[in-house]
Amino acid sequence: MTQGDTKKVSFFFQSVKDVFAFFFSLVKKVRKTKIFFFISFLPVFMAFIVKFSQIFSLARNIEGIYIFNNMIMTFYMQFLILILALFYGTSVSSEELEGKTLTYLTTRPVSKSAIIIGKYVAYTGLVVIMTILGVVFSFLVLNLNELYELSLYQILFRDVAVLGLGLMCYTAFFTFVGTILKRSIMFGLIFSFGWENVIQYFPGSTQKFTIVHYLKSLLPSPSTGRFSFLLFRLEPSSTGNSVFMLFLITGVFLVLACVLFTFKEYIMED
Amino acid sequence: MTAVIQTQNLSKWYGNVLGLSDVTLQIEPGITGILGPNGAGKSTFLKLITGQIKPNIGRVMIHGQKVWNNYALFAQIGFCPEQDSFYEELTGWQFLTNLLKLHHFSPEKINEKAEKAMDIVELTKDKDRVIRSYSRGMRQRLKVAQAIAHDPNIIILDEPLNGLDPLGRRKIIRLIKEYKGEGRMIVVSSHVLPEIEAMTNRIILIHQGKIFAQGDIHYIRDLIETHPHIISIKCSHPRLLAEKFIRYDYVLKVHFDLQKKSLLVETNNRDKFFSLLPSLFRENHISVEEITSPDDNLQAVFDYLIGK
Amino acid sequence: MTIKEKGYTHWDGELRDGRFPWWPITRFGIKLTFKRKFFKFLFALTLIPALVWLVGIYISERLEDFSFMVRGDQTDFLNVNPSYFNTYFTNDFLLFMIIMILVFCGAGLISDDLKHNALQLYFARPLKKKDYLFGKAAVIFFFLFIITLVPGLVFVIMKLIFAGNFKFIISYPWLLLSIIVYSSLLTSFFALYTLLLSSVGKNRRYVAILIFGVYIFSDIFFGIFYGIFRSQYFALLSIKVNIQQIGAVLFNQRTPQDVPWIYSLLIILGMCVLSGLFLNKKVKGVEIIK
């Protein structure tokens, strides 16, 4: 690597860092973010309701960790992270086009790839924080009586890691979708709640064409009976393979998004 | 003088709609006005030279480098777009400083440059208000501020005076002239002719995607041989003067304005006509109140060129 | 001779309000929706259940010709009765597709106007707020009636035509009224629901996600709370289940959940009223920025 190349790389990372700082501070101020924060904390309120009900014997005495794994985690993994990733992932490019603010970024000495990566990191960071805070608080509330059990924290750490990987991967995918499609939300909804759900019912290798397959492969198989309908016919991949695939999917879609954003011409209507 | 911006056969289509057609020109340092009615192709041209859109045919170069995807060039370029759009949740100060961060200045330099830019556009008092609460004029001034804050050598302004009050316009025009004095290059587009006239004599006329003329406004005017010059003379004996004029073959038409006691003369040789006037006035004892050239301005030039 | 000066002439005619001031808004909204790419495809998909049910009505009158397709005497599912209609109107696929239609055609109804500051343009015309809101709602009525009311009426008509007698309508004289009431209630609820969410933001993508997300999340919360508390009253949290409860009552069927249907009706009506109040407050000609 020549000195010129090193300089280019360091310039690129500096640009990514500057774009990240800009948009991370911007997105925190937006009202939509506050609403999404509220939504991601709904499971915490649910956890409080369940806990109070159990204390006053209004609800069945189910173990907190069971509720956490089978309900709270299902809510986050099958719905919330999809919604968050869809909105913020597509926002990486779409909001600049819709708001006609792209010009301000593309007339600065930063590469278009740095804009995409910087915004992606900012938005992924935000949704990860949103989700982790909700998950951790729900966990703490539901397992109030067992907080001394260290083994439970392993489960929490595993679940947080899986959700983080899921957000990273889905946001990258939707970042790509946002750069290529105008109607990215429709496609995103059909993908998230159509493709990702339906394909899980298909046996064999078909499941490997979804992101949720690799996420669920990182979680233990559910007990049969209650809630197993959510995980029909899961033929899990190995942990190493799943993590590798998630990172690979993230990398591939981010690179594609960068390439597309760099070479595609975006015409903003006057 | 070496051209800074060069275009060669530059053409752009939006589907079936022609945006710009076969534009080959060179823009040198100083102030260049891009003039044309709405929909002429001014914004398309500016977007092409700032790399916002790609040409379908031809190329555009700044300092000998291609513009498209050449982000390094933008360290020296400042662009004020036409559309009124911002990150509405930010304050003016945050907007400016965040954009300056993308130029990799140090925090001290960012503050210094942002303060200077805010001061120039007179937004210092309102810098901590959210942009959503800004008036139209304040938004326009903020746009200009973000284009000049990083001290670029090349400043490209797309309709920079839109939404500004007369005092604001004067200030921006003065600023643009100051920048010219500092050796920077400014390209300004407008559809308001007096604005361009107030800033520069060097213009590029665009209409329906084509360049009609480029150069000094007076030079362009002189080139239009097919369209006669019109001179208005207010005097004591207009009819007598007209009788003298019609003997000369370079006087093409004479109109009388009875109310104003003046006559309008069309001539295809302005120099000869003006050299004739003093002797005619003297010999015929005609007292002259006023001589003007109503078509020696941008509007007239433009109207002639687009065939109105 | 009088010289008539061609000056300004006052018009002596009468100034009247347009009879349907909301109509241009509705017409434009429908036109704009049809212009969107893929909408026609999506709308056609939404009509698939109607087609399937219509074929079922045809088959029900020609059972002997299709008996080879059915094992034994299992022809109960082809009985065209109020339950058949209830199954059409409350099936999950139809409700899901209604939400997708709303995401497509409803998300931008008010949010685009807020984004482009167009409300000032609307209210600078002789247009009242109710006309504006009704005009926007009518866009949704148009599309949802095509999916609900029109197929329902067509099913009844085709049943009568295929049967060749009026026995069906004589057996269930209230069915037409049920179809009209259910379709109207469903459409009004979804119109107000969509307009409420559309007025919340200026970003169409965000509104689209809200329209979809609120609907889905309400169902998820029901599932989670039911799983813990095992109480069917949590069904009142789910928009989908409330609609299905009302549908079942209107078509004289057993409600899917063991919860008084009146609660579901009150919740749906309550949401409609709250949406109306919020919209009335939110839709203004001038926005005051604090």
> In a mutagenesis test of the A interface, which of B65, B79, B102 is the best target, namely the one with the most A β-carbons within 10 Å?
B102
What is the distance in angstroms between the Cα of C99 and the nearest Cα belonging to chain A? 11
What tokens does C12 get?
A: 């002596």
Weakly modelled stretches of chain B, pLDDT under 70: 1, 220-227, 260, 295-302, 305-308
In this complex, is the C-beta atom of B72 within 8 Å of any C-beta atom belonging to chain A? yes
Q: Are residues B109 and B198 in the same domain?
A: yes
Co-location of B71 and B147 in the same domain: yes
pLDDT score recorded for residue C70: 61
Q: What is the per-residue pLDDT for B226?
A: 60
Contact C224 A193 (CB under 8 A): no
pLDDT at A233 over 60: no
Q: Of B196, B222, B248, which residue is a domain's last?
A: B222
B85, B95, B128, B129: best to mutate for the A interface, most A CBs within 10 A? B85
Work out the pLDDT band at A3, boundaries 50, 70, 90.
confident
Which residues in A lie closer than 8 A to residue B53 (C-beta atoms)?
265, 267
Q: Do the chains contact at A86 and C38, CB–CB below 8 Å?
A: no
Q: Inform me whether the C-beta atom of residue A33 falls under 8 Å from chain B C-beta atoms.
A: no
User: Is A176 part of a structural domain of the chain?
Assistant: yes
As given in the structure block, the two tokens for residue C268 are: 């749906």
Residue (of A72, A81, A83, A80) closest to A44 by Cα position: A72
Note whether B292 contacts C: Cβ–Cβ < 8 A: no
Residue of B14, B85, B89 with shortest CB distance to A100: B85
CB contact under 8 A, A183 and C103: no
Given an 8 Å threshold on Cβ–Cβ distance, is A227 in contact with C224? no
Report ipTM (2 d.p.). Answer: 0.87
In b/e form, how buried is each residue of A28-42, taking b as 16+ CB within 10 angstroms?
eebebbeebbebbbb
A–B: how many Cβ contacts below 8 A?
A: 75
Q: Note the residue count of chain A.
A: 270
Using the predicted structure, report yes or no on whether residue A14 has a pLDDT greater than 90: yes
What pLDDT is recorded for position B146?
Answer: 96
Using CB atoms, pick whichever of A21, A100, A263 lies closest to residue B83.
A100
Q: E strand or H helix at B19, and its extent?
A: strand B17-27
Q: Which of A55, A100, A186, A226 to mutate to test the interface with C (most CBs of C within 10 A)?
A: A186
C-alpha torsion sign, points C221, C225, C230, C233:
negative
Within a domain: A1:
no
CB A243 within 8 A of CB A213: no
CA-based nearest residue to B208, from B302, B67, B79, B299: B302
Q: Are residues B15 and B55 in the same domain?
A: yes
> How far apart, in whole angstroms, are the C-alpha atoms of residue A69 and residue A221?
11
Rounded to the nearest 5 degrees, what angle is found at the Cα of B216, between the Cα atoms of B210 and B221?
Answer: 80
Q: Among partner residues A30, A100, A109, which is closest to B75 by beta-carbon distance?
A: A109
Residues 69-108 of A with CB under 8 A from C: 70-71, 75, 79, 83, 86-87, 90-91, 94-95, 98
Is A128 part of any domain? yes
CB count within 10 Å of CB C7 equals 5
State CA B245 to chain mean position distance. 37
Q: Does C289 touch chain B (CB under 8 A)?
A: yes
Other residues' Cβ atoms within 10 Å of the Cβ of residue B248:
14
What confidence score (pLDDT) does residue C285 get? 67
Minimum CA–CA partner of A18 in chain B: B102
**Closest CB to B50 among A19, A105, A107:** A107
- Which of C27, C200, C44 is closest to C111 using CA atoms? C200
Residue C208 to residue A185, Cβ atoms within 8 A:
yes
Q: Which domain holds residue A176?
A: 14-263
Nearest CA in chain A to C38: A183
Q: What is the CATH number of the domain that holds B88?
A: 3.40.50.300
- Closest in C201, C209, C225 to A86, CB measured: C209
Half-sphere exposure for A32 (CA within 13 Å, toward CB): 24
CB C83 within 8 A of CB C56: no
pLDDT computed for residue B223 by the predictor: 64
- Contact (Cβ atoms closer than 8 angstroms) between residue C132 and residue C283: yes
At position C141, the amino acid (one-letter code) is: F
d(CA A23, CA A95) in angstroms, rounded, equals 12
Q: Touching check for B239 and chain C: CB below 8 Å?
A: no
Boundary of a domain, candidates B174, B195, B222: B222
How far is it, in rounded angstroms, from Cα C16 to Cα A72? 59
**Neighbouring C-alpha atoms within 13 Å toward the C-beta of C30:** 15
Sequence-distant (6+) residues with CB within 8 A of A206 are A199
Boundary residue ending a domain (B176, B196, B222): B222
CA distance to partner chain A, nearest, from residue C221 (Å): 9
Nearest CA in chain B to C288: B133
| Cβ–Cβ < 8 Å for A197, A231 | no
Instruction: Look up the pTM and report it.
Output: 0.86
Chains near C (3 or more Cβ pairs under 8 Å): A, B
Residuewise pLDDT in 10s, chain C (290 residues) = 555 555 666 666 776 666 788 999 999 999 999 998 789 999 999 999 999 999 999 988 877 666 666 666 655 557 888 999 999 999 999 999 999 999 988 999 999 999 888 998 898 888 889 999 999 999 999 999 999 999 999 999 999 999 888 999 999 999 999 999 999 999 999 999 999 999 998 899 999 999 999 999 999 989 988 888 888 999 999 999 999 999 999 999 999 999 999 999 999 999 999 999 999 988 876 666 55
Give the closest-approach CA distance of B163 to chain C in angstroms. Answer: 17
Q: In what order do the strands lie in the sheet with B30-35?
A: B77-80, B154-158, B185-190, B30-35, B202-207, B210-216
Interface contact C124, partner B, CB < 8 A: no
Pair B173, B30 in one domain: yes
Domain identity same for B215 and B231: no
Residues C35, A180: Cα–Cα separation, whole Å = 20
Residue A148 DSSP SS3: coil
How many alpha carbons fall within 13 Å on the CB side of residue A154? 5
Distance (Å, whole) CA A187 – CA C204 = 15
* Confidence (pLDDT) at C127: 87
Would residue A2 count as lying in a domain? no
Which three-class secondary structure state does DSSP give residue B222? helix
Q: Is B56 on the interface with A (CB under 8 A)?
A: no
Looking at chain A, which residue has its C-alpha nearest residue C216?
A: A79
User: Residue A229's pLDDT band (boundaries 50, 70, 90)?
Assistant: very low
Determine the structural domain holding residue B28 and report its residue range: 5-222
Residues of chain C whose beta carbon is less than 8 angstroms from a beta carbon of chain A are: 36-38, 42, 100, 103-104, 201, 203-206, 208-209, 212-213, 216-217, 220-221, 224-225, 227-230
Is residue B143 within 8 A of residue B36, CB to CB? The reply is no
The contacts of residue A201 (CB under 8 Å, 6+ apart) are A232, A233
Instruction: Please tell me whether residue B32 adopts helix, strand or coil conformation.
Output: strand
Q: Does residue A227 carry a pLDDT above 80?
A: no
CA C289 to chain B, closest CA, distance in angstroms equals: 6
Q: How far is Cα A38 from Cα A130, in angstroms, rounded to an integer? A: 9
β-bridge pairing B30-35 and B185-190: parallel
Using an 8 Å CB-CB cutoff, list chain B residues near A101: 85-87
- Residue A51: the pLDDT is 87
Distance from CA of B258 to the nearest CA of C (A): 24
CB contact under 8 A, C206 and A87: yes
Q: Which among B64, B14, B17, B45 is positioned nearest to B211, based on CA atoms? A: B45
Say how many CA atoms lie within 13 Å of B4 toward its Cβ: 20
In percent, how much of chain A has pLDDT > 90? 58
> Is the CB of residue A106 less than 8 Å away from at least one CB of chain B?
yes
pLDDT of residue C138: 96
Task: Please tell me which of the candidates A79, A90, A98 has its beta carbon nearest to residue C217.
Answer: A79
Asked if B90 and A105 come within 8 Å (Cβ–Cβ), the reply is no
Identify the CATH number of the domain in which residue B229 sits.
3.30.70.100
- The structure tokens listed for C288 are 């005051």
Residue A108 CB contacts under 8 Å (≥ 6 apart), including other chains: B71, B74, B99, B102, B103
DSSP per residue, B147-200? HHTT--SEEEEESTTTT--HHHHHHHHHHHHHHHHTT-EEEEEES-HHHHHHH-
Q: Is A30 on the interface with C (CB under 8 A)?
A: no
pLDDT score for A65: 83
For residue A236, name the pLDDT band (cuts at 50, 70, 90): confident
Task: Locate C91 and state its tokens.
Answer: 């099936």
Partner C contacted by B85 (CB < 8 A): no
- A25 chain-B contacts, CB cut-off 8 A: 94, 98
B255 touches chain C (CB under 8 A): no
Instruction: Report the domain count for chain B.
Output: 2
Chain A touched by B55 (CB under 8 Å): no
Domains in chain A: how many in total? 1
Separation in Å, CA B237 to CA A80, B241, B254, B263: 89, 6, 14, 10
The dihedral formed by the CA atoms of B185, B190, B192 and B194, expressed in degrees to the nearest 10: 10
Tokens representing A179 are 């750069």
**Residue A204 DSSP symbol:** G
Residue B135 in contact with partner chain C when CB distance is under 8 A:
no
Q: Decide if A227 is inside a domain.
A: yes
How close, in Å, is residue A12 to chain C by CA atoms? 30
- Considering the domain architecture, whether residues B147 and B286 belong to the same structural domain is answered as no
Q: Cα-flanking dihedrals φ and ψ of residue B41, to 5°?
A: 120, 10
3-state secondary structure B41-64: CHHHHHHHHCCCCCCCEEEEEECC
Q: Among A46, A189, A196, A197, pick the best mutation site for testing chain C contact (most C Cβ within 10 A).
A: A189
pLDDT value, residue C61: 81
pLDDT recorded at residue A56: 79
The more confident residue out of A86 and C15 is A86
- Under 8 Å CB-to-CB from A88, ≥6 apart: which residues? A27, A123, A124, A126, A127, A171, A174
- Spatial strand order of the sheet with B57-62 comes to B17-27, B5-14, B57-62, B65-66
CB contacts, 8 Å: A87 with chain C: 205-206, 209
